[in-house]
Structure 1
Amino acid sequence: MTTGEKIAALWRDHKLSQEALGEKLGLSRQAVSKWEADQAVPTMDNLMELSRLFGVPVDTLLRPDAPFPAPPAEGGAGKENEDAPAAPETPHKGVSLSRGKILAIGGAALLCVSLALNAVCLYQIAQLKGEVQALRVQAGNVNTVYYPGTDADTGDFAESSEHMTLDPENTEQLIVTFSAVPRVASDGETAKFLLRGGEQSWECEAEGDAGGGYRGSLTIPMVDEYSVYLVLTDQNGGTRNLLIASESDIENRFSIDVQAYWSSGGPTFSFGKNTFTGTLSTYVDFHDALEDNSFTGRIILYQNGKEIAEQPLEYRSQGGEYGANIYDTEVRLGTFEGRMSDFTVTVEITDAYGRVFTASPD
């Protein structure tokens, strides 16, 4: 396994996300994504922090042939060790060391081990950089060559951008546009954009511009994560795949959260009749990828699954500590005969793309 594949497996085994791991290391989600794609190699400080965080030696993270530890088991060996009887103490003879001397000796030993590990890691990183340079020199007959860097690198692009939006004609599709200006360009290079999402991939020709940059656009099915690359091919067939951006949790970022609750009043039952009046508060939260936050809403009363009454959601913001995305509606659905269990009140939100989101008050 590569270093990037090991890092990806470790954060998943420890129930983290790219963003959560980046926060623990003080880095962006994009930096972690570059590690996973083997587009960059973590610095020594980050390797040491990953080693501490996941309990894996730095050598194991760097060496492709190093055995990779199994995922942490819940209630596994540690629990068994707690239940095992303690080993009998061996009587000591001769001079016994004081607690302070023992701690001093232990600390010195740990320092020596740490210095030795740092030296080994620096040597191995130097070797990796040498191997990367050799790949660059010998890239003539290789179809695809990746260019790993470190966190201190300025990046492959003088500037780049990527933007995704819902296809207004089909909300099951994404429109992704991108542009990039490589820092290094070669005469005679051809360019295209490549987008990978799960087991699928899409590509399009890159349009050049007068500033030495490229731009393009793709319409793809809704996927939950993807990475987009600028692929540059030289006259000898050598290829550079330059990572522009990686996106994740896409479906959730294009969704809307809707919650509803009775802030006063609510359904009442008396002498076989059910009355539906009161103040119904509705919380509408648009996630960050949606550009158009307009919507329409209504409150619907169902009896045995059949719609029998409705009224519009009133866009009267409650404000104050609840913020501006909570709407209060004075419900006047009326009085109906039947069992209370036969009735359901539902809030229905229709967004600017025609998608419907619903919630029922508690």
Structure 2
Amino acid sequence: MTVGQRIAQKRKELGLSQEGLGDKLGVSRQAIYKWESDASLPEVEKLVALSRIFSVPVGWLLGEEEHPAGQADGQSAELTEAQIKMVQEIADRYLAAQTARMEQPPQPPARRRWPLIAGGAAALVAAALFLNLFSQLNRVSQDYGNLQSTISNVSSNVNSQIGSITSRVEEILKAQNSLTASYNAEFLSSDPGAGTASFALEAVPKTYVEGMEAVFLADCGDGPLEFPGVLGEGQSFSAQVTVPLTDSITLSVVFVNGERRETQMLDVFTYLLSDTYPYVSCDGSDLWGSTGKDGVLRNSRYTFITVDEAFTGGPCTKIADIQVGLFRDQKLVARYTPCEQPDSYKGDWENARFFEGPETITLEPGYTYCMAALVTDEYGRQWVVHGTPAVYDPEEEFVEYADIAEDYSSDPADWDFTVG
């Protein structure tokens, strides 16, 4: 099995989706997709994290060793960095405790009727304690030194394993990309108005056979589209393709030799669609504050949104219109209109656009409120951005943020913009 197949197998055994595994690792679903399809390999730290999640050695993921059958689930063949720190902390505490205990002065002996004998005994006890102190300090020092040596050896062993993994990553990736001698997938441009993206594709088969053909595939989420490759110099197949603009576009090449078809992924492009939208943020937190038992918002007169048309991964479109309002359960209850920067907002509010609403707004308990903006760009595309939802609690006399923001979509069809 390839590295990607091993990751997919273990993920499915744990009942995780690609998105779920990505959440555990702090990466996107597209990254998991690329790993499992062998388009790329995880970075070294992600390989180590995968080995811990799957309870398998890193070497097993790379196909270099078998998973020990006797190893219990959740156990790891490697000492983790956290475990090393824990050992170090235990050693430090042990040494501190021993030193503190040994530095405590001995209790004075009880007074007896034989002061000379008592004095001699005290001297002997003091001498014994003194010798014992040196003996314990020496033993603790030796134990600590041995522990430090063990930790150093473990760290060296872990570093050696990581170094070995790193050196093999590129070799394994190249071995899995065995169909091409070279390839390239270059993003050329996007056309938000037409909703398309263009790419230049090139692939040179590792073994060319007379009469071989190549077909380039582009999967934009609704199944692959096919584009014939043109054979050029150096047995290189190429094509310029234009495909629907989405946030996940997978490009591949298929080498066709008679009835035989062999496919290799070239690259995955993500967030190309999102990068064409200007950045718009609608916070609305400046509205929330003390309401009193009457539920009247005291700070509802003004609000603002942030617009930054340069805060994207590529050239974005221009904004044609923005409608701002306060929504109750995603239904408009108060519309806000553009205005100049209010006197209450001091200083330079770069990229801020201000809006004015009603003097006061009365909130009702049991409903969820949030600020939201309907944005329309120059091509007529519309989407909704919203702030964090809040709920009015008359007992507390203020609003509390509601942890349901992820339930609100950016689709205008899910929002009611008519004032009831």
Relative to the length of structure 2, the TM-score reads: 0.48
Equivalent pair of 1:262/1:279 in contact (CA under 8 Å): no
- C-alpha distance 66-356 of structure 1, shift in aligned 2 (>3 A): same
- Counting strand residues as a fraction of each chain, which structure ranks higher? 1
In the TM superposition, residue 241 of structure 1 has moved relative to its aligned partner by 1.8
Equivalent pair of 1:48/1:58 in contact (CA under 8 Å): no
Which residue matches 1:218? 243
Q: Output the amino acid matched with 2:376.
A: T
In the TM superposition, residue 128 of structure 1 has moved relative to its aligned partner by 7.2
- C-alpha distance 181-249 of structure 1, shift in aligned 2 (>3 A): closer
Which residue matches 1:59? 59
Pairing partner for 1:354 from 381, 396, 402: 381
- C-alpha distance 54-166 of structure 1, shift in aligned 2 (>3 A): farther
Q: Output the amino acid matched with 1:177.
A: S
Which residue matches 1:280? 303
Which residue matches 1:162? 187
Say yes or no: does 1:229 pair with 2:229: no
Pairing partner for 2:337 from 311, 334, 345: 311
- C-alpha distance 309-58 of structure 1, shift in aligned 2 (>3 A): closer
Q: Output the amino acid matched with 1:188.
A: G
Which residue matches 1:296? 321
Q: Output the amino acid matched with 1:234.
A: N
CA RMSD for the aligned pairs? 6.0
Q: Structure 2 CA distance, aligned partners of 1:204 and 1:60?
A: 36
Q: Structure 2 CA distance, aligned partners of 1:347 and 1:277?
A: 16
In the TM superposition, residue 344 of structure 1 has moved relative to its aligned partner by 8.6
In the TM superposition, residue 98 of structure 1 has moved relative to its aligned partner by 3.8
Q: Output the amino acid matched with 1:351.
A: D
Q: Structure 2 CA distance, aligned partners of 1:250 and 1:359?
A: 22
Say yes or no: does 1:180 pair with 2:177: no
Which residue matches 2:119? none
Cα deviation, 1:161-216, whole Å, max 9, x if unaligned, reads 136757646xxxx5343222224573433222223467x53122235386752222
Which residue matches 2:178? 147
In the TM superposition, residue 288 of structure 1 has moved relative to its aligned partner by 3.3
Cα deviation, 1:238-265, whole Å, max 9, x if unaligned, reads 524241x213467765665431448699
Which residue matches 1:205? 227
The farther-off stretch of 306-315 and 188-197 is 306-315
Equivalent pair of 2:306/2:352 in contact (CA under 8 Å): yes
Q: Structure 1 CA distance, aligned partners of 2:219 and 2:161?
A: 37
Q: Which has the higher contact order (CA 8 A, sep 6+)?
A: 1
- C-alpha distance 193-101 of structure 1, shift in aligned 2 (>3 A): same
Q: Structure 2 CA distance, aligned partners of 1:109 and 1:265?
A: 57
- C-alpha distance 265-184 of structure 1, shift in aligned 2 (>3 A): closer
In the TM superposition, residue 299 of structure 1 has moved relative to its aligned partner by 3.8
Which residue matches 1:75? none
2:223 partner SS: strand
Cα deviation, 1:301-327, whole Å, max 9, x if unaligned, reads 7899677865346699x997754x321
Q: What residue ranges of structure 1 are gaps of 5+ in the alignment?
A: 21-28, 73-95, 133-144, 150-154
1:15 partner SS: helix
Which residue matches 1:89? none
2:24 partner SS: coil
Say yes or no: does 1:50 pair with 2:81: no
Q: Structure 2 CA distance, aligned partners of 1:302 and 1:121?
A: 53
Which residue matches 1:15? 24
- Counting helix residues as a fraction of each chain, which structure ranks higher? 2
Say yes or no: does 1:99 pair with 2:143: yes
Which residue matches 1:258? 281
In the TM superposition, residue 5 of structure 1 has moved relative to its aligned partner by 3.9
Cα deviation, 1:103-137, whole Å, max 9, x if unaligned, reads 48747975997799799989x9999799x6xxxxx
- C-alpha distance 196-38 of structure 1, shift in aligned 2 (>3 A): same
1:38 partner SS: coil
Q: Structure 2 CA distance, aligned partners of 1:100 and 1:265?
A: 57
Which residue matches 1:327? 353
Size of the alignment, in residue pairs?
295
- C-alpha distance 50-129 of structure 1, shift in aligned 2 (>3 A): closer
Which residue matches 1:139? none
Which residue matches 1:138? none
In the TM superposition, residue 231 of structure 1 has moved relative to its aligned partner by 2.0
In the TM superposition, residue 355 of structure 1 has moved relative to its aligned partner by 0.6
Pairing partner for 1:194 from 208, 212, 217: 217
Q: Structure 2 CA distance, aligned partners of 1:53 and 1:277?
A: 49
